[in-house]
Amino acid sequence: MFFLGVGSTIVGAAAGNIGLSAYQIGLLLAAQNLGFFGSVVTAGALADNVEKPRLLLVGSILTCVAFFLFYLWQPFLLNVLIMFLIGAAMGVSEGVTDAMLLELHEKRQAFHVGINHFSVTVGALLITGYLVFLQMSWRRALVQSAAAVLILAAFLVFAGAGARRKDAGRIADRLRFLGSRRVVPGALVAAVIFVGIETGLTGLLTTFLLRLRGYDQTSSKIGLILFLAGIALGRAFFGLIARRERIRGMLFALVGACGLFSTLLFLLPLPPVANSAGLLMLGLSVSALFPLVITMTGLLFPEMSGTAIGVVKLGVPIGGILVPLIVGSAARLFSFQGALLAFPVLAVAGLIVVLLTPVLTPAGALHD
């Protein structure tokens, strides 16, 4: 999951160095999430029957190859295809790891899922910091990441021995059952919104700071680091205090804070200190939204957690495609400043979805 963070952030972190426009950023993120779409639900469904380390081995090999090839050559459309491969590799990791953690840990599941996604943010932070503080070529950083993933793949070859296998029944039957539960569509829509906000902000923040706030290449990446640091801190903290009966209230409070801070950040020309604080607080507010939705889903369907989480994680590519593409296209057709107001609007939509989605009661049962 650490390297999933590297893959999800490299476009935003290196966009200025490559010379990408907001429209091109949107296309690359869309391609990445199309690849994710095909692999996440497949990997999640297989994780209920197949040894999970074996699936992670496949994802690691795909990640290694894709990292090495990204912008090895310059043609934009070729790199769109390579970004699709990166997304497919990310989908395998996303589809398997949370289900594996929920299977391994019977208590404080929200904490372990939060820490798992904390690892994603650490990867995103380190690849961004690598570019800022070490002044290293982003291509070299990706090649080194590919080498590290290859070492991980070698470890996973042996990790599958004796791994737990179970029989959750036919995939079609599982999907039919999950489709009949009203909480699953609600969780999926919430995932679309929350992931769309996080992915869109991660991909576009450096461009926003460069174009509209007068930051340079280095300071814009530091701004992205502040946002990602807020996500990392929030995932650790909110995962620590989360309990199953608190999930809905936490979601409501965090998505409301996201709407507030995104409005202030994008509408007001704040002084540098306030702008930095706003980026950190925005990251905190976004941090636990998606992990909490995943935790709720896994707790509700423990016998088929891989399939259930895989279905809800379809919200990752859908949100990751729609939001950056909409914002990027709106920026191209109208203005970048106006397009950024999509984020507060999405936060309001998220509040409505949280209110309408069935939740866990204090006793732990599903209120549907």
pLDDT tens, position by position, 185-226: 888 899 999 988 988 888 788 888 888 888 887 788 788 889
- The residue with tokens 């289900």 is 99
State the pTM of this model.
Answer: 0.73
Contact 11, 28 (CB under 8 A): yes
The C-alpha atoms of residue 347 and residue 273 are separated, in whole angstroms, by 24
Question: 99 to each of 102, 268, 313, how far by Cα in Å?
Answer: 5, 41, 12
Q: How many residues does the structure list for the chain?
A: 368
Angle (CA) 271-274-275 rounded to 5° is: 80
Lowest mean pLDDT among 109-113, 170-174, 283-287: 109-113
Residue among 94, 114, 116 nearest 43 (CA): 94
Contact 3, 55 (CB under 8 A): no
Contact 123, 5 (CB under 8 A): yes
Structure confidence at residue 10 (pLDDT): 66
Contact 84, 159 (CB under 8 A): no
Highest mean pLDDT among 91-100, 112-121, 143-152, 304-313: 304-313
Structure confidence at residue 257 (pLDDT): 93
Please check whether the domain covering 2-161+170-367 is classified as CATH 3.20.20.150: no
Q: Express each pLDDT in 220-266 by its tens digit.
A: 878 888 998 898 888 888 877 877 777 888 888 999 999 999 999 98
The conformation of residue 246, written as its DSSP 8-state character, comes to: G
CB-based burial label for 148 (10 Å; 0-12, 13-18, 19+): middle
Mean pLDDT for the stretch of residues 34-56? 78
Round the average pLDDT of the chain to a whole number and report it: 77
How confident is residue 57, by pLDDT bands cut at 50, 70 and 90? confident
Structure confidence at residue 114 (pLDDT): 65
